[in-house]
Structure 1
């Protein structure tokens, strides 16, 4: 995949003499992530393909929710964006990826990540009477797609989800993929990248991926995170529903894009969620 003609024209307008430094694209989905340089300044351009639905979320996050972080140099600064063209340009954010580095297993990382997330979540809170029903239906729809969840288990999950309550929820700005692969560390300072899943959701949803990964391996990291965050937003019943939704959606999505290790994580998450 390359840039569309419209994306290339826009990028040439925004950065007329830019040079490509590195292609950071993930490869599993149709999003280009390009590191560029112009006049000694470094930038990141993100471009979505026709099937992309992440760029709109990312642009919305940059326009509406990132000020608490960008004002402190903790998230990339927006330079330009075009919703229709699915193109975003930000300033390059320095730092080493936390995932795979010693910082991934350092409690201090998680305390700071908790503090950052609390600041993000506290920007606004809106009630939503339909969130639970929408999420239940979304997960049931996922179970109707091709996957490798055993048929008897899938039927059991469908029956349980169909019987879940649909109480009102409080939604806040969430990152949507809050984990070390989207954190940078720069001389001990934690920074945040990748807002393609940012949306209004209950606060506890941003703990789902940490709970399935790093918290599971080292409970000290969970303690440090909650000390930074200030409280535990997870009430048992809603947390169970969130974990099971996350598990099912992980299994199905990972199977669809061919990410087998992530799919296996999803199967493990289902097994642990249903006890």
Structure 2
């Protein structure tokens, strides 16, 4: 069976050999949906994670930004991996390995305490710093309208409604904070009852609300105890109705269009459901 390291470019392989000579692959953690590589390595008695972008992905730069600028509150308490080495030009990074079981699909996903801890961790990230985002709303609205121009299976009448709604939104400055970008159980680990965080390929400054929308789509709907525990851990509920509606509808449209592009019919159906739920809850 081919090793995942065979998918690395020559430059990426050379850097990995320089950083971790003779490392052995323990497990391939790549998802297979995109052309990146995520592999667990062993060198001596230590384990590491190597992540590398392919030609069609662009996550490593954001991962390195997160490690260099925002993750120290988590790393200092052992709740996020430590950056060992990275190279933006070659689009590859090496981090320490965090032990644990993925929360998604495990019994920990059904435990409200998992969500309380996740809320606490997210508050640590968000409360480091904030800045005014004068162009965020306009840029996000333009992105949604471009997505509606792509191939998708949103009904024409509904797509027209969505265009009208998004085009009617005023733009105004919003507060941007460090955000994970994919805050949900597939990016949380649990080990000895303690939750930690992985995967920072979507990390960027955004409104804090943006890290709540993916939980609302599944976990909060599955069990309101999870939602209450998350709010308790976070320490407040920032979901102001108008801003929350915008974030939910953007996430819903993005989900429906992206999943169709990827051929993921189940996720696409979830996107369509998210659109209808957001519209039903419009303030």
* TM-score tier (shorter): over 0.9
Partner of 2:64: 59
1:144 and 2:140 aligned: no
Give TM-score, length-normalised by structure 2: 0.96
Aligned mate of 2:50, from 45, 54, 58: 45
Gaps of 5+ in 2: 1-5
Q: Structure 2: how far apart are the matches of 1:120 and 1:160?
A: 32
Q: Structure 1: how far apart are the matches of 2:266 and 2:27?
A: 26
Shift of 1:179: 0.3
Q: Structure 2: how far apart are the matches of 1:30 and 1:240?
A: 33
1:75 and 2:80 aligned: yes
Partner of 2:3: none
Deviations 1:13-61 (CA, angstroms, capped at 9, x unpaired)? 1111101111110011111101110011101000101221211111110
Partner of 2:166: 161
Shift of 1:250: 0.5
1:243 and 2:248 aligned: yes
Secondary structure at the counterpart of residue 205 of structure 2: strand
Q: Within 5 A, what are the aligned runs for 1:1-275? A: 2-275=7-280
Secondary structure at the counterpart of residue 16 of structure 1: coil
Q: Structure 2: how far apart are the matches of 1:57 and 1:263?
A: 26
Q: Structure 2: how far apart are the matches of 1:249 and 1:209?
A: 12
Count of aligned pairs: 275
Query: Is the contact made by 2:34 and 2:56 (CA closer than 8 Å) also made in structure 1?
Result: no
Give TM-score, length-normalised by structure 1: 0.98
Shift of 1:257: 1.4
Gaps of 5+ in 1: none
